[in-house]
Structure 1
Amino acid sequence: MLQDKKALQILLDAYWSSDGWKRGDTIGPADFEYARQAGYMFDPVEMSHDDIVGRLLAVRNRIGIKQVADAFLASLSTRRLELRSALGSFSFSAHFPDHPLVEGSRGPMPSGPLRCRLCGLYSHPIGEQQDLNVLSFERWKWGGVRHLNPLYGWFDLAQFEKANPPDPTQEDYSILARIVEIASGLPPKANPNELEKRIGKVIRSNGSERRVLIEILGLCGVLKPADRCGFLDAFTSDEHRDRPPDHTNDWGYPVIWWQGVDGVNKDAVNRLFPEIGAV
């Protein structure tokens, strides 16, 4: 899909302004229809938990790891954040189990949805309307922020199937090599916040984009905390995604546990990005 700058701007303007998130309806019918026809905005889709699981597994099986790894690389110099996102969603879904909604001990939310203790998805037992537009916005704006959400994973990979990513360039390899070098050389107690600041010197980006990039590197196992693994190696159920007692740490799982002492998982680098594997 070729980028349509007008449609993309309609999508971004629907949710974001210089003051941050917008609330309420901010888009007219004509603009919505233009963005919908261009493939950036969508009508609501009715899906249940089991529908989402089935669609995620189906699209995962149609995509190869090299496709998403190369797209991630190509995003580094081009700032094509929507392409960067796919590696996170593919990693999350790599060992995603086929399962029905498994109700946890928390019971239903006041509004009715149940939280599946296996995948973490909030859902009614029967189908409900799913808003894909906010997911599309987050994908284009930051490279996704809900990579542990099966609905986002399906949507992201389904959109990626329609893309035509450029091939990675030597500049892309160099950028990732520098990120790996920085992550490998941080002090033992450094946390992801320190890494986010440091890599700002080597990649054109803002802080929110760098956070997503780091979380994707955690999902695929490049940044592997001690005693935990990325989703590309094994699926960790929602009920077992533990978090540190430090409530100021708002990173996603598993990179929330990463420290400088963990460094970089060279096996994952060699698997995903063999061109820069000799680090």
Structure 2
Amino acid sequence: MRTFPNHLFCVANNSVPSNISPCQVCGDFQCLYETEEDICEFLDGGGVLAHSIGDYYYGLKAINSLPSSSPQEVDIGIFHKIIACLKHSSGSIRTVQSELKNIPNFKSNVEERRLLLETLGYCGVLFPLEHTSPYSHYVRLNNAPRTSHSSDWNYPADFWKGRDGVNIEALNFWFGDYLL
């Protein structure tokens, strides 16, 4: 949402807006429906369910309703090891996902590690050099490219390779306080 364009809902030329007409700028739909079930699904699912403004809104609302907590020293140490793993990887995103399970005290399952890596992609910390980074430019994630039709990874993490490295500018923007 950092790079989300400030705009009014806009449908294709000569189209009449409806609940099934996506916006030509952001790809989202005109109506947002918020229910308690939507927010619970977000919390139970561990993250973004789909790429829509509604999901971003529900997610932020759900997270903001949780009691705040500060990372402990061990958490920051784990984060440093995750970043080091990403910086030194030469493999694919799946290879890194597997390597992360070897970090001491980092209790996570495959799905949680995938969501973590995808989140780092959304933040622009991970981005494939030959693709647009959501950190610097708005990307319509509901219509983003995929490496294959059967890939279960979301853009841009789907295209990331270890040789792409880590975007230090984005890393410092989002997590600089924890890297000192």
TM range (shorter): 0.7 to 0.9
Question: Higher strand proportion, which one?
Answer: 1
The letter for the 2-side match of 1:262 is D
Task: Quote the RMSD (CA, aligned, Å).
Answer: 2.9
Which consecutive residues of structure 1, in runs of 5 or more, have no partner in the other structure?
Answer: 1-92
Number of the residue aligned with 2:167: 265
Number of the residue aligned with 2:48: 145
**Residue 230 to residue 147, structure 1, CA distance change in 2 (3 Å):** farther
Aligned partner of residue 248 in structure 1, secondary structure: coil
Offset of 1:131 from its aligned partner? 5.2
**Residue 230 to residue 170, structure 1, CA distance change in 2 (3 Å):** farther
Number of the residue aligned with 1:191: 92
Number of the residue aligned with 2:58: 155
Which consecutive residues of structure 2, in runs of 5 or more, have no partner in the other structure?
Answer: none
**Residue 199 to residue 235, structure 1, CA distance change in 2 (3 Å):** same
Decide whether the 8 Å contact of 2:86 with 2:96 is kept in 1. yes
Larger Rg belongs to: 1
TM-score by length of 2: 0.80
Number of the residue aligned with 1:117: 24
TM-score by length of 1: 0.55
Aligned partner of residue 273 in structure 1, secondary structure: helix
**Residue 132 to residue 231, structure 1, CA distance change in 2 (3 Å):** farther
CA distance in 1, matches of 2:38, 2:84: 32
Offset of 1:236 from its aligned partner? 1.9
The letter for the 1-side match of 2:22 is R
Question: Higher helix proportion, which one?
Answer: 1
The letter for the 2-side match of 1:120 is G
CA distance in 2, matches of 1:257, 1:235: 17
Number of the residue aligned with 1:30: none
Number of positions where the alignment pairs a residue of Structure 1 with one of Structure 2 = 176
CA distance in 1, matches of 2:38, 2:177: 32
